[in-house]
Amino acid sequence: MFEQILNQIAVSRNFKKGEVLQSAGQESSKGYFVKKGLLRSFTIDDNGKEHIYMFASEGWILSDIEKEVFGNKTVLYIEAIEDSEVYIFNPGQIYQLDLQHEYTDYMISSLMKRIGVMQRRILALMSASARERYESFLQIYPDLQNRVPQKMIASYLGITPEALSKIRGQIIRNK
């Protein structure tokens, strides 16, 4: 569905595992639709620590909204976790598409779905323990467990790899 829209404005490119598609501090940003593979977006804080903002597997879009919405420099790095095929587009061009009604609805509901995912994330970060967040991560993204190194899952959950390892130990032993 989205691919049909994107074909009008996007170009396809392949990236190898570990390749960086975009860095923080840039003046321009792109939208990245994952056709195949797996990407991650993350920040690096003042202490040099990485914090994963999102994973994006097949069908998902990554983009640094900070640049688009607030006009600031990008704050996110975007990197391939697996060899990936990606449609790259210019976010501003979305407005230039002469969208048919069905596409408009799809666009709006995609954005709302994204907001829904983020609502859950915010509420979880504020009210759930690290273990609860990990268990709900496994439920919501069961496939990612095998595609993503644990230290990145920890980073997504907002904890250290050591803390996640301890939690996993607790879950395996008693419970």
- Which positions touch DNA (CB under 7 A)? 47, 49, 129-131, 149-152, 158-166, 168-169
* Distance in Å, CB of 113 to DNA, minimum: 27
Lateral strand order in the sheet of 50-56: 20-22, 77-80, 39-44, 50-56
The end-to-end CA distance of the chain, in Å, is 43
* Distance in Å, CB of 83 to a second copy, minimum: 27
Site for a second copy in 50-79 (CB under 8 A): 51, 53, 65-66, 68-70, 75
Q: How many CA atoms lie within 13 A of 93 on its CB side?
A: 13
Q: What is the 8-class DSSP label of residue 155?
A: H
Residue 175 touches which member of a second copy, DNA, none, C-beta under 5-8 Å by kind: none
Q: Does 120 interact with a second copy (rule: CB under 8 A)?
A: yes
Q: Does 135 interact with a second copy (rule: CB under 8 A)?
A: no
Calpha distance 64→5 (Å, rounded): 20
* Distance in Å, CB of 145 to a second copy, minimum: 20
115: left (phi over 0), alpha (psi -120 to 50) or beta: alpha
Q: Among 73, 158, 163, 166, which residue sits at the site for a second copy (rule: CB under 8 A)?
A: 158
Which of these ranges, 4-12, 78-86, 94-102, 142-150, lies near a second copy under the rule CB under 8 A?
94-102
* Distance in Å, CB of 65 to a second copy, minimum: 4
Calpha distance 33→143 (Å, rounded): 19
